[in-house]
Structure 1
Amino acid sequence: MADPIISSSPLLDDNVNDRGSISFSWVQKLIDVEESKAQIVYSLPMIFTNLFFYCIPLTSVMFASHLGQLELAAATLANSWTTVTGFAFMVGLSGALETLCGQGFGAKSYRMLGIHLQSSCIVSLVFTIFISVLWFFTESVFGLIRQDPNISKQAAIYMKYQAPGLGFIGAPIATSISLWIAFLPLGTYVICSDKFKDTWTGFSLESIRYVVTNLTLSLPSAAMVCLEYWAFEILVVLAGLMPNPEIATSLVAICVNTEAISYMLTYGLSAAASTRVSNELGAGNVKGHDGWVGLFSNSPLIKDEFASLRFFLAASITLDSIQGVLSGVARGCGWQRVVTVVNLGTFYFIGMPIAAFCGFKLKLYAKGLWIGLICGLFSQSSSLLLMTIFRKWTKLNSSV
């Protein structure tokens, strides 16, 4: 009998090789068609879900931006701060579920999916309290990092009303309402739908026992995600220290938002890769490892400057796409701690120093900041690729 951890069977059914002449076609020799179908089924919903969710705060920034350059700079700075201190961190915390639930499903421990979900909710709720308090002191924090006082004041107003989820006067109120509207039906669906009868057996105090287990994966996962997200958002903060901070902040923020939207495609594929890898590890299978700117601003200066950044933006999007899928594989395998070290080294010891040097010392300003980011992304993608290629997959097991 084959070892349940080091399986000698292919990732999918053996009957793939018994389908007549089609099994010898160049397509099936090149790729696993059935696995590709599974990846598409998993990734498409995630692509659209992430895209629509990201568009909620982005749309608010777009509407606020047409009020003036100050409003654009303030809205983008506030949006970056919410990402740095809140959204990215919470997304990172939820990364523990990709490992725990993915491997649990593969091992047919369906009931534990609901338990791990409740544990994750407990962990997330505790951290949201600290995040909300931090958001109420945003203006003081911006003062400490020497941001423009006018921009800081407007951004702080945005943040204070965003924290409790009650909305902000004007466009941002739609963000809060939309997020609540998205959350309530989704939670109701998970609790009440018969589709989850095997994985959701009701609220249980047993979930408290797994909080520590969740934290051992969620904190490294949060660090892994935040170190990457922060590298992008720090560029917005650095732009606020340059001459004419309203223009510089707006320009860099538009690039960051453009990059983020393109990343939604990759993030969907990343989620699919994470799900498939964790499912197969949980089942004991390891052989299958093998006109835009006008929406933000009407300023001719910003439009011209953004046009000069398109080449750099294309390069960063390409690298970000590669690392996104590789990061999904890492999360599925439970490698969050290793990737945290990789992200720390590549972004903050390579990317950010180069960005600061090119942006300020060489006076390349926004271009210099983005060059540093590209260097960080290249180093990160290369490291993750080498880690995936040379990992001893036969030594992996389904334990977390």
Structure 2
Amino acid sequence: MAANTSLLEVSDHGDGEEREEQTRNQLSGWEKMLDLEEAKTQIFFSFPMILTNVCYSLITLVSVMLAGHLGKLQLAGATLANSWATVTGFAFMIGLSGALETLCGQGFGAKEYRMLGIFLQASCIISFLLSIVISIIWFYTEPILVLFHQDRDISKEAALYMKFLIPGLFAFSLQQNILRFLQTQSIVMPLALLSFIPLIVHIGIAYALVHCTPLGFKGAPLATSISLWISIIVLFLYVICAKKFKKTWQGFSSESFSYIFLNLKVALPSAAMVCLEDWVFEVMVFLAGIMPNSKITTSLIAMCVNTETIAYMITYGLSAAASTRVSNELGAGHPNRAKNAMAVSLKLSVLLAFLVVLALTLGHSIWAQFFSGSPAIIQKFASMTPYLAISIILDSLQGVLSGVASGCGWQKLVVYVNLATFYPVGIPIAYLLGFKFKLYAKGLWIGIISGLSCQAVTLLLITNHAKWTKLNIHGYRDKESSSPV
């Protein structure tokens, strides 16, 4: 490990933070409401991250849209497959990579640059090995979905989709790790371009495979796999060729194997934190599959889930900004600056969420047409828009708070929060309203809103009462995550 940063080197930061606090007290009303300098920093950070995550999310979503236009059965199969891929693979890989938000983020703040490359390699090893396990589950998608009482025809289509998506899982897992590696160094502007190129290529590949070859439906997931591998090759070449990574990427090293278990101690709670929330959305898709008129209901709920996912990818830019700013400041020994960064992120997230909701309210019919040409589905999606708007706002708030938790190393605590808010609250309410009160899709989504409300309030209380000055400065040096209290 590189030489440790002495705590004496950051001992003078207390006086600096006290001066900053005095300066804030002298600011005008607008400036007190929002730290403009911090807001500017986060906006310049989050906007490229928003573009990056939207582009990568659209790679999978474009394939679903193209497959959906082949027919109602193909739409239901593709959306169910995309949900199943998220619940069993993509969400898990995003969560695993979240360990790097803590390890690399605080390591970069502490100026222990060489360790970032070591942590990246350890995380990639873990992700690759777990991808093998998940790919086996994906191979047996059809019997698993049938076991969950899903429609047999839809399950068969979903299973076919999943088999051609398996190669993309390995690329996706590596991609997420490299993105976190770059994010924690505040390298975000190049990512927007590097993500846009694979998306444009993907649109061409997907259209050609679906409509210009005998592959048809199978061409959609195959195009996703090809495009994800193109994206990982582009990112890897950028890391090894750019001179700016000379300190943080010093080539492959066997030393990374000695950090696998340390990485796992942060990665597994991080994965559980992400999955426990994402699984709730996918449970709604499965519940929709056992409702009357399951083809339409499944498509409708899956469209809502995909819309929420896209909205969250926009929010994720701010979540990434909050995680990076908080972890970097904690690593440098600036707890008050870390807390201020969190407050600014929350205010920006509310503003951004309202803009997304406004766009959805005005253009929900146009958006629905990307998924289906059925007038019945488009009309039903319009009736879901008010509920979707509420969930997007709540999801935006909790997304930033979860990003702060990752920066602080509180992943284990958020696991308990998600368990306590979604499963005893959100899912039972969804089942009761959806089936007993026969509200169907609307009832399921009210359950989502209930869980998100409890989650956001709980995380807000935790971060508001946390003793920021006592947080572990270098979280990866302590094998236990720091406690907020």
TM norm structure 2: 0.78
Cross-structure match for 1:283: 332
**Which one of the candidate residues 434, 441, 464 is aligned to 1:389?**
464
Cross-structure match for 1:72: 75
Q: Deviations over 1:14-42 (max 9, x none)?
A: 59959xxxx74444333322222221122
Cross-structure match for 1:61: 64
Moved more, 180-189 or 39-48: 39-48
Cross-structure match for 1:268: 317
**Which one of the candidate residues 188, 213, 238 is aligned to 2:237?**
188
Does structure 2 conserve the Cα–Cα contact (< 8 Å) formed by 1:347 and 1:376? yes
Cross-structure match for 1:109: 112
Does residue 42 of the first structure (1) align with residue 48 of the second (2)? Answer: no
Does structure 2 conserve the Cα–Cα contact (< 8 Å) formed by 1:6 and 1:394? no
Does structure 2 conserve the Cα–Cα contact (< 8 Å) formed by 1:103 and 1:398? yes
**Which one of the candidate residues 231, 236, 254 is aligned to 1:205?**
254
Distance in 2, Cα, partners of 1:9 & 1:58: 50
Cross-structure match for 1:305: 380
Residues 14 and 361 of structure 1: CA distance in aligned 2, closer, same or farther (over 3 Å)? closer
Does structure 2 conserve the Cα–Cα contact (< 8 Å) formed by 1:103 and 1:281? yes
SS in 1 for 2:167: coil
Does structure 1 conserve the Cα–Cα contact (< 8 Å) formed by 2:160 and 2:218? no
**TM superposition shift of 1:169:** 2.5
**Which one of the candidate residues 348, 371, 374 is aligned to 2:446?**
371
**TM superposition shift of 1:171:** 2.4
**Which one of the candidate residues 8, 14, 31 is aligned to 2:14?**
8
Residues 8 and 2 of structure 1: CA distance in aligned 2, closer, same or farther (over 3 Å)? farther
**TM superposition shift of 1:10:** 4.9
Does residue 342 of the first structure (1) align with residue 417 of the second (2)? Answer: yes
**Which one of the candidate residues 419, 425, 428 is aligned to 1:353?**
428
**TM superposition shift of 1:307:** 1.2
Which structure ranks higher in relative contact order (CA pairs < 8 Å, sequence separation ≥ 6)? 1
Moved more, 319-328 or 39-48: 39-48
CA-based RMSD of the aligned residues comes to 2.1
Aligned residue identity for 2:419: L
Does residue 172 of the first structure (1) align with residue 221 of the second (2)? Answer: yes
Cross-structure match for 1:237: 286
**Which one of the candidate residues 302, 325, 338 is aligned to 1:253?**
302
Distance in 2, Cα, partners of 1:190 & 1:12: 38
SS in 2 for 1:398: coil
Distance in 1, Cα, partners of 2:149 & 2:30: 57
SS in 2 for 1:351: helix
Residues 5 and 210 of structure 1: CA distance in aligned 2, closer, same or farther (over 3 Å)? farther
Q: Deviations over 1:121-167 (max 9, x none)?
A: 01101100001111000011011101100000111011112113499
Residues 12 and 136 of structure 1: CA distance in aligned 2, closer, same or farther (over 3 Å)? farther
**Which one of the candidate residues 88, 91, 104 is aligned to 1:85?**
88
Distance in 1, Cα, partners of 2:15 & 2:8: 8
Cross-structure match for 1:223: 272
Q: Deviations over 1:241-271 (max 9, x none)?
A: 1111100100001111111111112111000
Cross-structure match for 1:96: 99
Does structure 2 conserve the Cα–Cα contact (< 8 Å) formed by 1:274 and 1:332? yes
Q: Deviations over 1:198-240 (max 9, x none)?
A: 1001100111111111001000000000011111111111100
Give identity over the alignment, percent: 61
TM norm structure 1: 0.95
* Equivalent residues in 2 for 1:152-163, closer than 5 Å: 152-163=155-166
Distance in 1, Cα, partners of 2:289 & 2:406: 34
Residues 12 and 103 of structure 1: CA distance in aligned 2, closer, same or farther (over 3 Å)? farther
